[in-house]
Amino acid sequence: MKRFIGFIKKEFYHIFRDRRSLFILFGMPIAQILLFGFAITNEINNVDIAILDHSKDATTKEIINKIASSKYFSTKQIINREEDIASVFKKGQVKAVLNFEKDFSKNLIKENKATIQIITDATDPNTANTISNYVNAILQKYQKELNKDITMVYQIVPETRMVYNPELKSVYMFVPGVMTIILMLVSAMMTSISITREKELGTMEILLVSPLKPIQVIIGKVFPYIFLSIINAAIIVMLSIFIFKMPVQGSLFLLGLESILFIISALALGILISTISATQQTAMMISLMALMLPVILLSGFIFPISSMPLPLQVISNIIPAKWFIIIIKGIMLKDVGLQFIWKETLILLGMTVFFMTLSVKKYKIRLE
């Protein structure tokens, strides 16, 4: 035990004396969260739109009013002919045109159905997508109000994903993803680098020719990073609560436990990487290529998994981050308990045990 404590003490010396990695460790989560929160955002403000209203009745007026009074849109133009749609887009004056069909109110009451066409300028697909989401949200809200007044329900509107983020704040969607990336990076990359550094320096040779057991070396290497990763996770959650006023719905305790599970799986991956790389540089490259890219691209953090081609959807299943994102989104945004996410948790646990066993097995007691 004394050997083990001595080892951990040494690891902390390394970490606290290396200013650069300390900066990465604590500066990065803060920078990333702030970046995603403020700069890289899907939110829109005061987007110019044009209205083409073929009915000009009470309902359409009310809808137009609702849209125009939201801070997201400003009605720049009222156009009267279908032919004008193309020209306003070409002039680049508006990003979207709302086209109300003829006899809108009448259709709504008679047939329980009326149509608005939302035409967006898809040269910027992200914005286009967001605009149509926002318009939809406003429409749904209006429908709800409409249905409240009238006891008979005219329309059954399927709930879309925006219900869990009613204010449409993109930062809420990013927090789970950023947290996943940071925990992965800190845990996997830092451990793999710190183990390969010993190989590069030649100190690994001395550690091997000592009575320390492989498992002691592994746990000694991993322990400080579990500790630091937990602090990091806490910083991220606090930032999102206090700076972005994100309401964390679920149990913080459960969130903590799930995070620790994910951290351990990432650490195991880090050890695995260190067993196959001889230098810090390779360890870093492998961590970035084999871990970071899949986490960013295939975990559902940025691109929804459901819209990926089938092979990628299958591959995404073997990425621990995918399951972790589902879990923490559930806890943070939906207030779900373990009864709803036990399956994902079990998968993550299985992966962790698998990686851990593999890395302890692969950890060499000799040099080759």
Partner 1 sequence: MGITISNISKSYKNVKALQDISFDVKPGELFGLIGPDGAGKTTLFRILTTLLIANEGTATVVGFDVVADYKKIRNSVGYMPGKFSLYQDLTVEENLSFFATIFGTTIEENYDLIKDIYVQIEPFKDRRAGKLSGGMKQKLALCCALIHKPKVLFLDEPTTGVDPVSRKEFWDMLKRLQQKDITILVSTPYMDEAALCDRIALIQHGKILEIDTPQAIVKHYPKQIYNVRANNMYQLITSLNKYEHHHSVYPFGEFVHYTDNRADINPNDLILYLESNNLLDVEIAKTVATIEDTFMELAK
Between 193 and 351, name the residue whose CB sits nearer to partner 1.
Answer: 193
Q: Does 367 sit near partner 1 (CB under 8 A)?
A: yes
What residues are paired with 106 via a beta bridge?
none
Between 8 and 234, name the residue whose CB sits nearer to partner 1.
Answer: 8
Q: Does 22 sit near partner 1 (CB under 8 A)?
A: no
Q: Dihedral angle at the C-alpha atoms of 123, 126, 130, 132, nearest 10 degrees?
A: 40
Count of positions on this chain that bind partner 1 (CB under 8 A): 26
Q: How far is C-alpha 92 from the chain's CA centre?
A: 32
Q: Which span sits near partner 1 by CB under 8 A: 7-15, 59-67, 125-133, 355-363?
A: 7-15
Q: How crowded is residue 63: how many other Cβ atoms within 10 Å of its Cβ?
A: 22
| Rounded Cα gap, residues 73 and 95, in angstroms | 10
Report the nearest approach of partner 1 to the CB of residue 219 (Å). 14
Report the nearest approach of partner 1 to the CB of residue 193 (Å). 14
| Rounded Cα gap, residues 206 and 279, in angstroms | 17
Residue 51, burial from CB neighbour count under 10 angstroms (0-12, 13-18, 19+): buried
* 59, 189 Cβ separation under 8 angstroms: no
- Per CB under 8 A, contacts with partner 1 among 211-250 are 211-212
Q: Which span sits near partner 1 by CB under 8 A: 5-13, 188-196, 331-339, 347-355?
A: 5-13
Q: Does 366 sit near partner 1 (CB under 8 A)?
A: yes
Q: Dihedral angle at the C-alpha atoms of 309, 311, 317, 320, nearest 10 degrees?
A: -90
Per-residue tokens: 133: 């989401």
Q: Which span sits near partner 1 by CB under 8 A: 13-21, 30-38, 40-48, 355-363?
A: 13-21
* 86, 52 Cβ separation under 8 angstroms: no
What residues are paired with 88 via a beta bridge?
none
Between 204 and 261, name the residue whose CB sits nearer to partner 1.
Answer: 204
Report the nearest approach of partner 1 to the CB of residue 204 (Å). 8
Task: Report the residue from 39, 150, 156, 365 that binds partner 1 according to the rule CB under 8 A.
Answer: 365
Report the nearest approach of partner 1 to the CB of residue 190 (Å). 15
Q: Does 1 sit near partner 1 (CB under 8 A)?
A: no
- Per CB under 8 A, contacts with partner 1 among 268-297 are none
Q: Does 39 sit near partner 1 (CB under 8 A)?
A: no
- Per CB under 8 A, contacts with partner 1 among 160-189 are none
| Rounded Cα gap, residues 29 and 23, in angstroms | 10
What residues are paired with 52 via a beta bridge?
79, 99
Report the nearest approach of partner 1 to the CB of residue 164 (Å). 46
- Per CB under 8 A, contacts with partner 1 among 185-214 are 201-203, 205-212
Residue 45 CA: distances (Å) to CA of 74, 108, 198: 9, 30, 52
Specify the amino acid at residue 238: M
**Residues in contact with partner 1 by the rule CB under 8 A:** 2-3, 5-7, 9-10, 13-14, 17-18, 201-203, 205-212, 365-368
